[in-house]
């Protein structure tokens, strides 16, 4: 009789070793190795691998690059325009998409809402975490009440249930065994499969518990092979760790075609769908949703929701033009500068890097003469989003000066520029998109770096700033910005 094969996996990064180690050589973590049984004696091949009629068996051989026929990927355009934007135009046939996020952030709501609104497509929604009744309650809240068809299968039978009405061609299956899931896939023949979640699935020829490194890797490999052979796209929902990384081995993110991160603050109604990896499009796209009682609503113009509608002029508030992926947005940047009552000044930033904030304060003290060493400084990016674009440096510096002098910046003025260590205002990329967004929202002035202006004849042909009606104010240094704003 063959022996049961066991190995040791690092629970942090998925590193595999035949013996126990105290320290992982890959991620340098201590006491993270656990023993897992990876194969039973006389294990059998899953049924779908042998009997799947949709698989295309072919023999691979080396082919010259010039002989490869290039075809455009067939994409499923979803009704969710924000989801299409993040994926690069829609769901690619045969792709494997992984979406992760905090518990309760709305991953299952987003996927069920997507599954129940795919026109003309049959979607199989597989849940290993919730019962059919729980999914039905969420579907009713999403204004798409699923009802069993006449003569169909009732809830609780263990088979895929096709909800009609608002659900269209969405089938619900509560199952965790991959072998049973593939049997239901052969019967229903869906156009799209949603797995909620990959950490709850298990394969019968791996003896470790669901959610372990070997189970997650094996189940993902089976789903990946199914997607590539049948051309059916699969969307996986994944858990994340306390560090914000997707739970399971790091190889999970390498195996899939697209990795999406669904993030946001529970105290805010806005959610951000951020693309981390995409083999079929840009990896810097971003989608914004608003969480409502009836589901997630797409936000087509995020600048309007991130700007507060205030009438009175307040000091310490400026508007900055930033880019998230390819999308220009205007955000409200706030600063508060006050005398430190405890002797040791406090430095706090919400939605912005604290180390970069300290750099901005050092530049303002060195080049403009502001004594900020004994001041408490607090920065805030409104809306609950995190910004890494250096183009908001100029807006934050203006907000700090405004709060320090207690002089309000005109509400119809915005900023787009990077602040250098010498106090110079550096040029930023895609300045035309930032100017166009500010003009569209009714702003009257925008401060940009003078190095963004066209200097040569070729630049003037490429960048035409004369077509904008908004007043463009080029500046070279932070002292010049201070003189123009506050005299």
133 marked as binding residue = no
- CB neighbour list of residue 146: distance below 8 Å, 6 or more residues apart: 116, 136, 139, 161, 163, 164, 165, 166, 167, 170, 172
102 marked as binding residue = yes
103 marked as binding residue = yes
Using the structure block, give the residue that is written with the tokens 């949603």: 194
101 marked as binding residue = yes
Residue by residue, DSSP assigns 262-279 as EEE-TTSSEEEEEEEEET
Q: In angstroms, what is the C-alpha Rg of the chain?
A: 27
107 marked as binding residue = yes
Residue by residue, DSSP assigns 236-258 as EEE-B-TTSSBSS-THHHHHSSE
Whether residue 197 has a cis bond before it, omega within 30° of 0: yes
264 marked as binding residue = no
210: left (phi over 0), alpha (psi -120 to 50) or beta: beta
Q: How many whole angstroms separate alpha carbon 379 and alpha carbon 202?
A: 46
Residue 293 contacts residue 140 (beta carbons within 8 Å):
no
Residue 46 contacts residue 58 (beta carbons within 8 Å):
no
In angstroms, how far is CA 11 from the centroid of its own chain? 24
Q: How many whole angstroms separate alpha carbon 89 and alpha carbon 62?
A: 31
Q: How many whole angstroms separate alpha carbon 373 and alpha carbon 365?
A: 8
105 marked as binding residue = yes
- CB neighbour list of residue 458: distance below 8 Å, 6 or more residues apart: none
466 marked as binding residue = no
Q: How many whole angstroms separate alpha carbon 118 and alpha carbon 116?
A: 6
Q: Where are the beta strands (DSSP E) in 246-405?
A: 258-264, 270-278, 286-292, 295-298, 317-324, 327-339, 347-350, 375-381
Residue 477 per-residue DSSP state? B
Helices 213-230, 178-188: axis angle to 10 degrees equals: 20
Binding site feature residues: 101-108
Binding site feature residues for ATP: 101-108
């Amino acid at each position: 009789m063959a022996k049961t094969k066991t190995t040791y996996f690092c629970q942090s990064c998925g590193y595999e070793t035949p013996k126990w180690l105290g320290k992982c050589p890959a991620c340098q973590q201590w006491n993270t190795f656990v023993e897992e049984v990876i194969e039973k004696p006389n294990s059998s091949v899953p049924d779908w691998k042998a009997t799947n009629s949709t698989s295309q068996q072919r023999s691979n051989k080396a082919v010259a690059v010039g002989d490869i026929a290039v075809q455009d990927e067939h994409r499923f355009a979803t009704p969710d325009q924000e989801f299409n934007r993040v994926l690069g135009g829609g769901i690619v046939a045969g792709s494997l998409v992984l979406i992760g996020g905090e518990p309760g952030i709305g991953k299952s709501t987003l996927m069920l809402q997507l599954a129940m609104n795919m026109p003309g497509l049959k979607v199989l929604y597989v849940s290993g975490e919730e019962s059919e009744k729980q999914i039905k309650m969420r579907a009713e809240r999403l204004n798409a009440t699923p009802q069993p068809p006449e003569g169909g299968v009732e809830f609780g039978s263990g088979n895929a249930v096709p909800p009609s009405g608002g659900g269209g061609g969405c089938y619900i299956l509560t199952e965790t065994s991959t072998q049973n899931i593939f049997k239901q896939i052969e019967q229903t023949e869906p156009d799209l499969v949603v797995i909620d979640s990959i950490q709850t699935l298990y394969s019968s020829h791996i003896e470790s518990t669901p959610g372990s490194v070997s189970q997650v890797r094996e189940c993902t490999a089976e789903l990946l092979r199914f997607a590539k052979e049948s051309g059916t796209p699969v969307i996986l929902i994944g858990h994340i760790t306390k560090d914000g990384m997707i739970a399971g081995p790091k190889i999970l993110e390498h195996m899939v075609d697209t990795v999406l991160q669904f993030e946001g603050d529970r105290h805010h109604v806005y959610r951000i769908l951020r693309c981390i990896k995409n083999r079929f499009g840009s990896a810097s796209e971003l989608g914004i949703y608003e969480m409502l009682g009836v589901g997630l609503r797409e936000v087509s113009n995020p600048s309007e929701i991130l700007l507060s509608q205030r009438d009175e002029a307040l000091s310490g508030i400026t508007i900055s033009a930033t880019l998230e992926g390819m999308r220009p947005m205007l955000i409200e940047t706030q600063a508060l500068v006050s005398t430190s009552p405890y002797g040791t000044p406090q430095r706090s930033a919400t939605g912005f890097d604290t180390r970069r904030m300290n750099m901005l304060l050092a530049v303002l003290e060195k080049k403009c003469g502001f004594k900020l060493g004994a001041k408490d400084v607090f920065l805030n990016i409104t809306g609950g989003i995190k910004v890494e674009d250096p183009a908001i440096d100029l807006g934050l510096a203006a907000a700090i000066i405004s709060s320090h002098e207690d002089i309000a910046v005109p509400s119809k003025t915005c900023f787009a520029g990077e602040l250098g260590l010498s106090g110079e205002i550096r040029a930023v990329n895609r300045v035309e998109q930032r100017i166009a967004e500010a003009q569209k929202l009714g702003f009257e002035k925008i401060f940009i770096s003078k190095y963004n202006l066209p200097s040569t004849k070729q630049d003037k042909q490429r960048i035409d700033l004369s077509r904008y009606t908004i007043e463009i104010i080029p500046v070279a240094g932070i002292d010049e910005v201070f003189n123009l704003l506050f005299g």
